[in-house]
Amino acid sequence: MLTRLCEQEMTPTLSLFYERYQAIVQVQVAQPGNRGPHLAFFEMNEARAEIQQLATLKENWDGYGAIPIQKTTMRNAVAAVDQVLLFAPAPADIAPNPNGTVSLEWQSDFGRAQLEIGETRCSFFIDRRGGTSFFWDGSATEVASQIGILISSSLFPPPPAAPATTSIGVDV
Amino acid sequence: MCDLPTEIAPSEKIVRAVIFPYHFDRKKQKYTHRAFRPAPGTDRLSVIRQSHMGSDFCKAKGREIAAGGGENKRYTGLAVLTAAQIRSVGVALEDAREDYCGTHTSGMG
């Protein structure tokens, strides 16, 4: 499942979304595991465990009539984490929603992003502070690593490199 | 018999019981937008008229809500908004006294 998702082409919808986003925002493509393979591995494992824990919630888990997280939703969310966290840092929050979906949320000084995954559908938005916001929705099995790139480049850009200057003192 | 006015003044305090841990951001330890997600199959949210019912009633209702479902959760506080704030984002407030006196639902107007 993980391998198939890694190898598959982006769907036209997500591809179009990505192209439009690239046209407006300078997307800096990080390399997979640029945070270090061990860190990415542990973040993924932690996120997977949290999602699996959510799937144990029973009917009315919030007291307001929420429905349980179905196994299909859990599998979709775990597959999405496997893709997105190749490039993005671990979500600030992984949480269930009353309608049985799972939300992954990121936040930084540059804005926020949310990926919500259900049994068949998912939705994603980036709200950039003082910039362009984007929304995309599609099949819950379409979530690809490009979303991780968007999150990483929009909300967690690398710090600007220090200017390469050299001071030379001359005694005359 | 419910003798509360059906009209809601703009300054009335409307509250939503917040349930730990599901309405909380674990890292910031403050409630999130998920406290205001409606139940499945509806766009309506159950809220209470704190200005009329008082804080004790609202807290007791919050504990009752948290006790439902048997999961490991607890009532942790009230999110307070005024009727004017709720209406300012295009959300309507409707009387729902058939549920219990003092409750209203807010939904997209």
Examine the predicted complex and report whether its ipTM is higher than 0.90. no
Q: What is the pLDDT of residue B16?
A: 93
Q: What is the pLDDT of residue A144?
A: 79
Listed residue (A96, A103, A95, A112) closest to A154, CA to CA: A112
Q: Mutating which of B16, B23, B34 best tests the A interface, going by the most A Cβ atoms within 10 A?
A: B34
Q: What is the pLDDT of residue A21?
A: 61
Using the structure block, give the residue that is written with the tokens 């058939």: B98
Find the domain containing B96 and state its range: 13-26+39-108
Using the structure block, give the residue that is written with the tokens 């949290």: A50
A66 touches chain B (CB under 8 A): yes
Q: Which comes out higher in pLDDT, residue A93 or A167? A: A93
Listed residue (B12, B10, B4, B18) closest to B97, CA to CA: B4
Q: CB–CB of A77/A85 below 8 Å? A: no
- The residue-averaged pLDDT of A142-160 equals 85
Helix (H) or strand (E) holding B61: helix B50-67
Whether residue B31 lies inside any domain: the answer is no
* Relative orientation angle of helices A12-24 and A145-155, to the nearest 10 degrees: 20
Query: What's the rounded Cα separation, in Å, for the pair A96 and B12?
Result: 31
Alpha helices (runs of H) in chain A, residue ranges in sequence order: 2-7, 12-24, 37-54, 71-84, 145-155
Sequence ranges of the domains in chain A:
2-155
Q: Identity (one letter) of the amino acid at A136?
A: W
Which pLDDT band holds residue A42 (cuts at 50, 70, 90)? confident
Alpha carbon of A60 to those of A51, A108, B70, B71, B104: distances in Å? 18, 32, 8, 8, 20
- The residue-averaged pLDDT of A64-86 equals 93
- The residue-averaged pLDDT of A46-62 equals 92
Alpha carbon of A56 to those of A68, A82, A101, B72, B102: distances in Å? 8, 20, 13, 12, 34
Q: Which residues of B touch A67 (CB under 8 A)?
A: 40
Coil, helix or strand for B41?
A: coil
Mean pLDDT by runs of 10 across the 109 residues of chain B is 84 92 77 87 88 93 85 86 93 80 62
Of A61, A65, A97, the CB nearest to B34: A97
- Search chain A and give the residue with CA nearest B64: A63
Q: Using the beta-carbon criterion (under 8 Å), do B46 and A93 form an inter-chain contact? A: no
Coil, helix or strand for B98?
A: coil
B41-45 own/partner pairs: CB under 8 Å, 24+ apart: B41/A99, B42/B107, B43/B107, B43/B108, B44/B94, B44/B105, B44/B106, B44/B107, B45/B16, B45/B105, B45/B106, B45/B107
Whether residue B5 lies inside any domain: the answer is no
- The residue-averaged pLDDT of A73-81 equals 95
The overall pTM is greater than 0.90:
no
Q: What is the pLDDT of residue A78?
A: 95
